[in-house]
Chain A
Amino acid sequence: MDPVAATTFPISGLLLAGSVAALAASLWLLLPKTSDTANSRRLGFLLGTAALIGFAATGRSLGCVGEDAVFLTVAGIAVISGLATIVTRSPVYSAIWFAMALAGVSGVLLVLGAQFLGVATIVVYAGAILVMFLFVLMLAQPSGMAPYDRVSNEPMLAAAAGAVLLGLLTLSIGRLSAAEPPSCCRMPSRAQGMAAAAPAEGAASEDDGSIAPATAGVESVDADEVAHLGAELFGRHLFAVEVAGVLLLVALVGSIAVVSRGEATETDHRRESR
């Protein structure tokens, strides 16, 4: 249909440029600086919200799954928590925000239909890696907020670089969706409507919009997803699995060796000082 193609095809350049500028400004305002005030942080939050809405609008004009509320929710959780991870001053809060971002990413993976990876992200990342980070923070965090957590390196340049890179990536994603035939989420339901020989397409389009995401969701769920992934892992990529196991073992042995050698040198120093 023509309106679908019109919403799929172009990215509004002005919207994208505005979102990039707002994102750069908000990142610069939110990152730890010497000239921080509560008002500048508030302005940064506002600008960041505006930038996120702008990028969401860009995504909506890229595709037409804007109505997929579950995806929007989990993606919003992931992105906002990711932003909070890098701008929070306390590293402990940063790690906890990262756990929240992991929950959002896991939700995105589940919506995409990768069930095993969605659960593995929670179990491996949030359960193991993040807890290791928190242990190290408990061991190594000095009392109070350290001065190096209250400043950051080149916040303006880095924020501009990140925002511009995101704009370029969005442009290339938009070109990608423009190059492909606009196979929209309403296609299957419209095909069903045609098969049923619906007389009035214009009147039925409202119903199509509400039915389409549910149909797409049912299609994207693969009951044997884990079995297929396992067959692929232990069939075609068996050697790589073995190499990954060796890598884990070597990393374990290596980290223990480095830790114990460090302790040995410390005791040597103590012996020398005695």
Chain B
Amino acid sequence: MIPATLLTNALLVGAVLFCLGLVGILTRRNLIVMFLSAELMLQGVSVTLVAWSRYHGDWGGQVLVVFVLTVAACEAAVALVFVLQAFARTGRLDASAWQALREENLPRVIDHGLPADDRVVPTWPHLTPAGVLPEGDDSRSLERDHV
């Protein structure tokens, strides 16, 4: 049994996680990040269920969270297979690549004025070469590439 104050604080944490996941799944366009946001929503629900379960001294909530874990594992397996298939067809992990499936009254998503790719290109250290270059057998190394 937990005190009511810990219950309300845990409910608050669950609500925050749920809302963050909701915002993520509404806004992000990367399919993987959308699934991560869905998992974040599941985490919020799990925290809420466990908090109520501990508050009432009832095991039903925790049993439900065990099943949430199970279904999340199944969902991730099946969903990632579909994501891979979608990537094989379009070459992108973009949800808007499938906008031909949208409702008729919705506008097309058109990307214009994309922000620049502001990643910092990493500079790798240059190592001084040491030792003898091994004798390479080109035919064997080519074979190995295909294994």
Contact = CB atoms under 8 A, between A and B. Distances in A.
Do they bind each other?
Answer: yes
Interface of A: 8, 27, 31-36, 55, 58-59, 62-65, 68, 71, 75, 78-79, 82-83, 85-86, 91, 94-95, 98, 101-102, 105, 108-109, 111-114, 116-117, 120-121, 124-125, 128-129, 132-133, 136-137, 139-142, 144-155, 158-159, 161-163, 165-166, 169-170, 173-174, 176-177, 180, 182-185, 187, 216, 219-220, 228-229, 232-233, 236-237, 240, 244, 247-248, 250-252, 254-255, 258-259, 262, 266
A102 B39 CA distance: 10
B101 to A, nearest CB: 15
A136 B72 CA distance: 16
B88 A91 contact: no
B26 interface: yes
Contact of B76 (A133, A247, A262): A133
B114 A150 contact: yes
A63 B9 contact: yes
Contact of A121 (B12, B37, B69, B80): B69
Interface of B: 1-13, 15-24, 26-30, 32-33, 35-37, 39-40, 43, 46-47, 50-51, 53-54, 59-60, 62-63, 65-67, 69-78, 80-85, 87-88, 91-96, 109, 111, 113-115, 117, 119
A86 B32 contact: no
Contacts of B4: 63, 177, 180, 182-184
25 contacts: A31-B27, A55-B16, A63-B6, A86-B24, A86-B28, A86-B40, A98-B39, A113-B2, A114-B53, A114-B62, A125-B39, A136-B84, A142-B91, A144-B117, A147-B111, A148-B96, A161-B22, A162-B22, A162-B26, A173-B8, A183-B3, A185-B6, A219-B1, A232-B62, A252-B77
A120 to B, nearest CB: 6
B59 A113 contact: no
Given A58-B12, A133-B32, A244 B5 contact: no
A165 B83 CA distance: 29
B50 A259 contact: no
Nearest to A123: B69
A259 B84 contact: yes
A223 B82 CA distance: 43
A125 B6 CA distance: 25
B63 to A, nearest CB: 5
Contacts of B24: 85-86
